[in-house]
Amino acid sequence: MNCKKTKQIRLTILDQNYIRNDWNYDFDGPGFDGFFAALSADMQKMGIGLELLRNRDVAIPINSYADLLNVVKISSPDDGHNNHCIGHIIGKSPNLDIQEDIRLAVRRIAFAPETVAPSNEFRKVCHNCGCGC
C-alpha cells in the first residue's frame, strides 16, 4: 500500500480594486472556478492538493497586468514558500494570460520549488505588492 503524503499548495486570491478597464479579470466568476477545478484535478493526479482561499481584507489596486499578478498568492509550506505573488515565482509573464501564469506558478512551486527565490532574497520581480520579494 502506498501511503505517500499529498503535497499541499494554497492559492490565496486577494480582493481587487480595478482602476483601469483593460486589466480586469473576474476571480469570482465561473471562468475562474472552472479553471481552478480543472487545475486542481490535474494536480491531484500528480499528488498535489490545491486549496483556494479568498482574502477580502486586502485589496490590490489594479493599474497594470503586474498588479493583476499580485492578486494571486501561492504558498507551499512543505517547501518553505509562503504567500509569493505570481510575478515572484515566474518572473515576467510570457503571454499576459492570468490562467496560464497561475498554472505556470503552481507547477513551478509543485515540481521545482528550489528554482523560486526565497522571499528574503534581495531582488524585485513584482510590482510592490508587499510580498517581500
Q: How far is CA 12 from CA 81, 84, 122, 132, in A?
A: 13, 10, 23, 16
Q: What is the pLDDT of residue 119?
A: 63
Contact 126, 87 (CB under 8 A): yes
Evaluate if residue 90 carries a pLDDT over 50.
Answer: yes
Q: Given this model, what pLDDT does residue 120 score?
A: 56
Predicted TM-score of the model (pTM): 0.85
The pLDDT of residue 122 is: 45
Domain boundaries, the chain: 7-115
pLDDT reported for residue 95: 93
Could you report the per-residue pLDDT of 39-81, keeping only the tens digit for each? 999 999 999 999 999 999 999 999 999 999 999 999 998 887 8
